[in-house]
Amino acid sequence: MNLGDIARNKLQSLALLVAAVSLAILPQSSFAQEISEPATSVDEAVAEGQSVADGEVVTETDAPAFEHFGPDMILGQPTSFEDDAIASMTFQDQYTVNGDYALWMHDAILMPIITAISLFVLGLLMWVILRYRRAKNPNPSKTSHNTLIEVIWTVVPVIILVVIAVPSISLIAKQYQAPPEDAITIKANGYQWYWGYEYVDNGGFEVISNMLSVEEALTAGEPHQLAVDNRMVVPVGVPIRLQTFGADVIHSFGMPSLWFKLDAVPGRINEKVLTIEQEGIYYGQCMELCGARHGYMPITIEARSMEDFNAWVQSQPGGMTRAQLDAEAAAAAAPAPEADAEGEEADADAEADAADAETAAAAA
């Protein structure tokens, strides 16, 4: 190795060192800044009452006003130990039919069975320890088989497992029921490290959602690390076909109070149906370890009446309600009045031709 090579090697390692140090001291906020940008520009467009559709700036005229819910409408969120010790250790309140069922299964089936078995085993242990200790029972029994006891300790656990299996399997079946055909499709895209909500059935616009800073969350009266700048607004009481997709790595869309968790996997679309029972704000998080800022990509769902949802959709760039899309499709499908008349004539001709052909065939 000559002197030049040595110098080059030294320089390369120095460059690596400088890069590593600058990465380490680069403020975290600069990452957040990068990913917040698209959302800010959309906000500005909305604030100016304009929507950017197909690259054109369109001024909105008749879109109804929409206002987001305040913190008084927060329903689905975790409870801190200080506020309520018991609630902090168990499930959040549930706002879907599946969530109610799962909570019932936990409270009425699993917990009583677990408690009874634990107490029974504890009782048996205590009895054996006290009654059959060496001082009390110097000559232990040599019994090695007892058919009755063996049958009981085989059959009873089988019955317990069957009792648990029936509601358990039925819950799995409920969770994976296919959404009805008219369900509203919303696609949640997981990015490193934020969420994008694509409104497939409402014009295909995407809402980019980033976590609020501590100050912003406190000002808004919302919980920090759960509150976001742009919420996922959904209609209440109607089935939503919620699809998940991973744009880079595997994420997971998890909403504890809605009994909904679905992995967002690159290269495939997962889907489950979600029907929220009550208007309000619900918080969730990414639930798959997805990288450095995995803990900072929360989900906020705002469930609104269909009327409010439609108003919100129209406030989004390129957003179209179902009625608007249907009307547009009908207008595109229906020919102009003149063409319509000609079309009818053409139809009549075709029918006559068909009749002629039938007669000819019959004659032959």
Residues that bind Cu ion (CB under 5 A): 251, 286, 290
Least distance in Å: CB of 247 to Cu ion? Answer: 10
Least distance in Å: CB of 198 to Cu ion? Answer: 17
Residue nearer to Cu ion on the CB measure, 102 or 255: 255
Residue nearer to Cu ion on the CB measure, 184 or 290: 290
Residue nearer to Cu ion on the CB measure, 207 or 286: 286
Q: What is the dihedral of CA 204, 210, 215, 221, to 10 degrees?
A: 50
Burial of 78 (0-12, 13-18, 19+ CB in 10 A): middle
Measured in whole angstroms, the distance separating CA 19 from the mean position of its chain's CA atoms is: 37
Number of CB atoms found within 10 A of residue 347's CB? 10
**Residues in the chain, overall count:** 364
Peptide bond into 104 cis (omega under 30): no
Least distance in Å: CB of 36 to Cu ion? Answer: 17
Q: d(Cα 51, Cα 289) in Å, to the nearest integer?
A: 36
Residue nearer to Cu ion on the CB measure, 233 or 290: 290
Torsional class of 333: left (φ above 0), alpha (ψ -120 to 50), beta (otherwise): alpha
Least distance in Å: CB of 294 to Cu ion? Answer: 5
∠ Cα 96 97 102 (to 5°): 95
Residue nearer to Cu ion on the CB measure, 287 or 313: 287
Q: d(Cα 228, Cα 217) in Å, to the nearest integer?
A: 8
Least distance in Å: CB of 188 to Cu ion? Answer: 11
Least distance in Å: CB of 251 to Cu ion? Answer: 3
Residue nearer to Cu ion on the CB measure, 187 or 251: 251
